Amino acid sequence: MTLIRVDDKMQQGYTYELTEKTGTNFAADFTPELTPPQMLEMGVFEGHYLNDCQQEFPKEWFTNARLSPTCPDIKQNYFQIKSRLPLSEWQKRGWIIAPDVRGWFQWYCRYYYGRRLPEIDIIQIKRWKAFKRHKAQVIKNCYIGDIDCRKRQRQALLQWAYNPLF
């Protein structure tokens, strides 16, 4: 078992244990379509979400990531459109669940990496499943192959590990 120590801008002194091999043994009802490295490579969160967290995760996750080291840049998003609320809004709405102070994607990265926190995992997987309604809306309202249709929803789908290019 591997112990991971977190020491970044938003979280210091947090440690967690990797109890599963990376990318394996997910809950049966959790079937993300994209891995964290794929999401980072495609362009999520304006390239600025995990910049100070690179020591926490495998180096190869960031090899082809679209990053913006100094400030958020929508040009780093796959659809080059802003598609997220500020962290303060997430906090206000109660969407930040400790110990993942950055939200769902941080939880997913840690889950994918091999951390398991059963009570929190259930909550986050339920949130992920609920987000699928956006994919249904894109399918219902867009022609097949028209990736310019509903770009904001498609960017949001990407940021929740759903493939937006169906």
Q: Which structural domain range is residue 57 located in? A: 2-131
Distance CA 149, CA 144 (A): 10
Q: What is the structure's pLDDT at 11?
A: 96
Number of structural domains in the chain = 1
What are 29-49's pLDDT values in tens digits?
Answer: 999 999 999 999 999 999 998
Inside any domain, residue 44: yes
- Given a cut of 80, whether residue 76 has pLDDT beyond it is yes
Distance CA 61, CA 132 (A): 25
Q: Residue 26: which pLDDT band, with cuts at 50, 70 and 90?
A: very high
Inside any domain, residue 55: yes
Q: Residue range 118-127: average pLDDT?
A: 97
Inside any domain, residue 72: yes
- For residue 70, the tally of other CB atoms under 10 A from its CB is 9
What are 59-73's pLDDT values in tens digits?
Answer: 999 999 999 989 999
Inside any domain, residue 59: yes
Q: What is the structure's pLDDT at 55?
A: 95
Mean pLDDT of the chain: 95
Distance CA 46, CA 79 (A): 10
Distance CA 10, CA 12 (A): 7
